[in-house]
Amino acid sequence: MDFSFTNTSLWNFLVQMGIVAVVLLLSNIIRRKVFFLKMTLLPTAVLAGFILLVLRVLNVLQIDTAVMEMTTYHTIAIGFIALSLVIPKLDDKRNPKNFAAPRTGALIVSSYLLQGFFGLAITIGLAYTIRPNLFKAAGILLPMGFGQGPGQANNVGLTYEALGFHGGQSFGLSIAAMGFLVAYFVGLIYINILNRKHLIKDPGEAAKTDITNPEEFESHNEIPVSESVDKFSIQVALVLTVYLLTWLTATGITKGLYALSEDIAKMLVPIIWGFNFIVGTLLGMGMRGILRLFRNQGWMTRQYQNNYLLTRISGYAFDLMVVTGICTINFEKLYGLWLPFVLVTVVGTVITLLYLQWMCKKLYPDYYYEGLLSLYGMLTGTISSGMLLLREIDPKFETPAANNLLFGTSFGIGFGVPMLILIGMAPKSDFMVFLTMGLIAVYFFLLLLFIFAVKRKKA
């Protein structure tokens, strides 16, 4: 075997991760030494991501975007799997209560609908006034780019391009790229405002761990730190075992769907693999339950999970996810679509924030800001940006916000099925695009009724 630099398959991944590591370390030094950056509370991972983005755009560094996208994809799942293996305390506030997951799922989809309604209103209005050649259904790409990210924005954009929307793919991808910027910058500005008004605990102080408390590092009756195998190795092995089971489960479901119906498979398989972190989290919780059962039955005498190390694994995974996710942001050519692009993204930014401020006060009165920032980050960027904003004010995930984000997304998949139909309807004709707007409004109010009816029923 050739071990030299010419063997790119051997070295490429490690070289790319080395670049990320160096930039991350330099970013940490810059953030600590540059007073302005320190005062802005800009996370080191975000700074590193944007430094890499600039270096990539300027061709200073050869960044392999495929490796970075792959890393982002896997670290989302690894981070959530590690969290799912954490053993909750008896009074742990993270346990889902009051139907928070289904209500969060309905809130997520209702936000998509609101974005789609205003997006369509803008592009239809422009098409009937100063931009008569504009593709009227273009506005529905706002929830695809903001809410779903570059994958769905690219797919729907390509579909609309085939239906006559010149530049549809670029329009969708540019909205997705702007969504990332909105999530990080608007979210961080909001955190700074809250911090200065003393409405949240100082993020720097909130992240500190009491090293004098041994329970922060080790629970009763855990395996030794280093015996025949290091305790950290066990934590990594547990996480990777669950991820392997995730791959096997998703593969089995995929093969089963194709055996059942190729049309159904084409619709559901991308969802299964795109949201593999949900499958991984459910399997992680299952493994946690099995290990607890073994201890209760006396078949296993020691506790294998270490909450501190599992939390550190998730923290590392999310940091890496943020760096690699930001550095792959890409604005495509907009082919004269700058006006609708600016209007759609600005309105989407404001409407999403105002709507979530109103709803989160009602749904999460005990952890309003955590719920708001996590959902705003996800509904303008992706779940990775939602987790980043949440970690700034809830670094130990002491509120249910992280669980709501995760399990709400799984419910949101079900609630979001009608949106697939509406997306297909909108570009068919002028009548259909107006009908789509009407149906979006109806479904939006139905979801609001569901959210508040479930809440009242529980109360």
Phi first, then psi: what are they for 293, rounded to 5°?
Answer: -60, -45
Token representation of residue 68: 């970075």
Q: How far apart are CA 368 and CA 269, in angstroms?
A: 35
- Could you give the dihedral angle defined by the CA atoms of residues 366, 105, 108 and 363, in that order, rounded to the nearest 10 degrees? -20
Q: How far apart are CA 447 and CA 459, in angstroms?
A: 18
Q: How far apart are CA 87 and CA 301, in angstroms?
A: 16
Q: How far apart are CA 295 and CA 154, in angstroms?
A: 48
Closest CA to 93 of 394, 397, 440, 445: 397
Tracing tokens 């953030």 back to the chain, one arrives at: 31
Residue 162, Cβ density class (10 Å: 0-12 exposed, 13-18 middle, ≥19 buried): exposed
Cβ atoms within 10 Å, residue 386: 25
List the domain boundaries for the chain.
Answer: 8-209+318-458, 232-302
Q: How far apart are CA 119 and CA 138, in angstroms?
A: 8
Closest CA to 382 of 161, 143, 41: 143
Tracing tokens 């993020």 back to the chain, one arrives at: 203
CA atoms within 13 A on the CB side of 383: 26
Tracing tokens 């995929």 back to the chain, one arrives at: 254
Token representation of residue 350: 């404001």
Any idea what DSSP says for residue 146? I
- Written as tens digits, the pLDDT of the chain (459 aa) is 777 878 888 888 999 999 999 999 999 999 888 887 777 667 788 889 889 989 998 989 888 888 988 888 888 889 889 988 888 765 444 444 557 888 999 999 999 999 999 999 999 999 999 999 899 999 999 998 898 776 677 768 877 888 888 888 788 878 888 888 898 889 888 988 888 888 877 655 555 554 445 555 566 666 666 667 788 888 999 999 999 999 999 999 999 999 988 888 877 787 788 778 878 888 998 999 998 898 888 888 788 888 888 888 988 888 888 788 778 777 766 777 889 999 999 999 999 999 999 999 999 998 999 999 999 999 998 777 888 888 888 887 788 888 888 778 778 877 887 887 888 888 888 899 999 999 999 999 999 999 988 754 444
Token representation of residue 281: 């989290």
Q: How far apart are CA 244 and CA 241, in angstroms?
A: 5
pTM for the full predicted model: 0.73
Angle at CA 27, nearest 5°, toward 188 and 324? 75
- Paired with 303 in beta bridges are 222
430-458 helix and 100-127 helix, angle to the nearest 10 degrees: 160
